Amino acid sequence: MAYRNYAPANGFIVSPDGTGDFTTIGSAITAAVSGVTIFLKPGTYTENPALKTGVNLVAFTGDDNEANVIISGKCTYSSAGTVSICNIRLQTNSDYAIEVTGSVASIVNIVDCYINCTNNTGIHFTSSSGSAQINIYNSEGDLGTTGIGLFTLASSGAMYIIDSDYTNTGGSSTASTISSGSVNVYRSFIRNPITSSSTGFIGYNQSHLDTGGQNVTCITANGAAGSGANTSIFNSGTAQCVTVTSTFNLINCTINSTNANVVGGAGTVSYTPMQFATNSNVNTTSQTPLNIGPKILAAGGIGFDGTNYLANYVAPASFTPVLKFGGATTGITYTTQVGRYQRIGGVITFSIDILLSSKGSASGAATVTGLPVAAVSGPNYDFVCSLQAWTANAANTYYIAVLGSGGSGFALYEQNPIVPTLTALADTNAANASLVRIVGSYFCA
């Protein structure tokens, strides 16, 4: 049959209703030679096309998302050379939708397609050639049931997923796997966990991996050294985000997990700054800071030169301050009783906000206790902080709160603005609606 000229390509039209040159993709591929493009008219093609080098399958732009052109079956390729599939919905039919096998440099380009994994893992890549590739560009897809993944890779070649988005409406917690070769993800959003083993390599770049809906680990890195993620976002819900038994790099990544250890395992994590949406504990057997800017340590510390670390960091947190008179709290009740603090290295910054509803019946000197971290001990380590309000006292009087060496509570004083003497505040200075606010910072133990 003569080819039709659909400039810039010669090709065939395939249509299930008989209005084209062929009614099946397989018959068109058999008749085609390299350089021929096969145009698919709307319809569902339930067949398993064996792809041919240089013969491309295309549909009109948007036919993939509108599900106008569907190949319900397995597209296979094992020859040397390149073939492209464009604007088509590739749908599993109790088998893979795409399978690349053999031992030669087979290259499959999937462009503007939709990989619909209805009942089976979508992609199977086992070519033993290091030059074999599956390149996925600007595509979408979905995992429609449990027990399946997006891909299995046991090839010496490489798979690239670029500018693509894959959902998981079936709630599958089954990982996509890579045991050899490499998977390289760029600017894409995947909602399916990934597990590497043996010599499998993972490169996750400027992308998002979300398994929070299934509460399973995003990446399990058991494969090749040098695998890692760069400027990417991970969300795993209650599960550990990344589990490492080999080595894995985390560079400028955001980790979101409520698990006690957001990154863990018996391997090694190398890292530069990470952001943690909730917990921040990295608990792998070893951690190696990369000397690129600030560092995040397993215990939440921060370093600046690869060796000089701030040993402790606590994100803004709350505590409960307690007002006492003569060391007692008899009858004291509160309208507001809130403390907040943040620790960076050996420095605590805090605020205390107390509003009484009753001053109670205790008597004696006023103190505020309850600091979660004690002050450092030593001579001349008394810390004077601002006591911003004590509403029952006279105007034009200064108030201070003093945190003693090694202490976790404040003594409250008034200071005469003319005669520099301190007088301890007591229950006699307070009223039922007294307001006490203390702010400041101190060195901690």
The answer to whether the bond into 321 is cis (omega within 30° of 0) is no
Let me know whether 331 and 436 are in one domain: yes
Residue 19 to residue 10: CA distance in whole angstroms: 18
**244 and 157 part of one domain:** yes
DSSP state, residue 62: T
118/140 Cα distance (integer angstroms):
14
Q: Are residues 333 and 433 in the same domain?
A: yes
**DSSP secondary structure string, 341-387?**
EEEETTEEEEEEEEEEEE--S--SBEEEE--SSPBPPSTT--EEEEE
Domain final residue, candidates 313, 343, 375: 313
State whether 279 and 363 are in the same domain: no
Q: How many domains does the chain have?
A: 2
Which token pair is 129?
């050639």
Parent domain of 221: 4-313
Are residues 342 and 373 located together in one domain of the fold?
yes
pTM: 0.66
Query: pLDDT 10s digit of each residue in the chain, 445 long?
Result: 555 555 445 789 999 999 999 999 999 999 999 999 999 999 999 999 999 999 999 999 888 888 999 999 999 999 999 999 999 999 999 999 999 999 999 999 999 999 999 999 999 999 999 999 999 999 999 999 999 999 999 999 999 999 999 999 999 999 999 999 999 999 999 999 999 999 999 999 999 999 999 999 999 999 988 899 999 999 999 999 999 999 999 988 999 999 999 999 999 998 887 888 887 888 888 888 775 444 444 444 455 444 445 556 677 889 999 999 999 999 999 999 999 998 887 888 999 999 999 999 999 999 999 999 998 887 766 777 777 766 645 555 678 888 888 889 999 888 766 656 778 889 988 889 888 999 888 888 7
Do 81 and 204 belong together in one domain? Answer: yes
E strand or H helix at 425: none
| Same domain as 73, residue 181 | yes
Sheet holding 114-117, edge to edge: 43-45, 69-72, 89-91, 114-117, 140-143, 165-167, 189-190, 208-210, 233-237, 254-257, 275-276
DSSP β-ladder status, 165-167 and 140-143: parallel
DSSP 144: -
